Amino acid sequence: MAQVKIPTIKLNNGADMPVLGYGTWLGISEKAQAAGDAKEAFSFDFDVSDAPKMVEALSYAIDIGYRHIDTAHLYRMEPEVGQIINQKIKQGVVKREELFVTTKVWHHFHREADVEVSVRGSLRRLNLDYVDLILMHWPMSISQKGVDEKIDYLETWRGFESVLKKGLVKAIGVSNFNLEQMKRLLANCKVPPASNQIEINLNLGQPELVEYCQSKGVVVVAYSPFGTMVPSRAAPNSPEPKLNNPTMVAIAKKYNKTVTQVTLRYLYQRGIVSIPKTITKSRVLENASIFDFELDQGDVATIAKFDNGYRTVRPIFWQDYLNYPFDKVPEKAEIPKSLMVWKNGINLDID
């Protein structure tokens, strides 16, 4: 079996985070439903159909050398992620201390005391004694009924500092925090965040936010590193580059790599950790095979020109809530029910 060697980056708590992880978000399907009068309403249901493939791909990822696993309460897959981790430890493939496991606290648990409730719930579902990194998934606080609870994320952060002190987690961080929110958090915390996980890809480079975080010792982790490049995320009128973009294809050919490998390598050369998701074993291997070449400065400059601020992930149904971190757009939408109450696991039957 092929093996990959993934470098690490040092967090501000002294721990080493592998610079490439395996992402376990399966996604939400947009199913059109008849709504009378020939209109269509969209049901944003959590899609578990690919969960068995994800489990298989994660197992393979650990077998070939992946050591960084990114999950979340929202993803519903903590039970399966934990099963695979414990299975691999039992088989002697890996030791617990060699793995870097990240999970996240959802909107519903933003009161200081509720952070521990969320973390203990994740540990129970994962069947682990600790996680290496816990993230505040978003800066907003929204109840299971969709009510804006208007809890200051500084209060939530005190809950994060508490679970760190209790040894339930090794490091604490945030996700989807913008520049102003990062500055305010760093100015008002006892323990600075170890990382900020944000959308970064070739269309959304976020240089100012990245540079600020890195200057403060906060590791930047990229979710959706391929943006709309992959067909499943290619929204109508979304910008280049796509997988067949001539510029990207030419650069990839120059290094005898794929367009997606060039993309991940570009982010790595910016000092950014990536967590691409795939349920295809060949791509699991391909994504991690980016450490045997280096993009020259000319190619880096060419790729940088694709940055136009386009967001792949734009949850407009939250944009009127306090602490929504992105710019607002004119569209309106209701919060999908699947983002308010759920159960976990492949059968969606685990609390």
346: in domain: no
320: in domain: no
326: in domain: no
How far apart are the C-alpha atoms of 241 and 312, rounded to whole Å?
13
243-252 pLDDT per residue, tens: 999 999 999 9
Taking the alpha carbons at both ends of the chain, their separation in whole angstroms is 36
Task: Please tell me the number of Cα atoms within 13 Å of 340 on its side-chain side.
Answer: 14
36-49 pLDDT per residue, tens: 433 334 457 888 89
Catalytic residue among 22, 60, 66, 75: 75
336: in domain: no
Q: How confident is the model at residue 27 (pLDDT cuts 50, 70, 90)?
A: confident
Structural domain count of the chain: 1
What pLDDT sits at residue 99? 98
183-231 pLDDT per residue, tens: 999 999 999 999 999 999 999 999 999 999 999 999 999 999 999 998 8
What predicted TM-score, i.e. pTM, was given to this entire model? 0.96
197: in domain: yes
For the segment 272-295, the average pLDDT, to the nearest whole number, is 97
For the segment 109-120, the average pLDDT, to the nearest whole number, is 98
For the segment 151-173, the average pLDDT, to the nearest whole number, is 98
Q: Is 60 a catalytic residue?
A: no
Structure tokens at 286: 């391909």
316: in domain: no
What pLDDT sits at residue 185? 98
Which has the closest alpha carbon to 344: 48, 29, 56? 48
319: in domain: no
**Mean pLDDT, the chain, integer:** 94
Residue 137 known to bind ligand: yes
Contact 115, 172 (CB under 8 A): no
292-338 pLDDT per residue, tens: 999 999 999 999 999 999 999 999 999 999 999 999 999 989 999 99
Q: Does the pLDDT at position 274 exceed 80?
A: yes
CATH number of the domain that residue 210 is part of? 3.20.20.100
Q: How far is C-alpha 211 from the geometric centre of its chain's CA atoms? A: 19
Say what percent of the chain tops pLDDT 90.
Answer: 90
Taken as a whole, the chain contains a residue count of 351
For the segment 85-107, the average pLDDT, to the nearest whole number, is 98
Structure tokens at 167: 């040894």
108: in domain: yes
Range of the domain at 46: 8-35+42-308
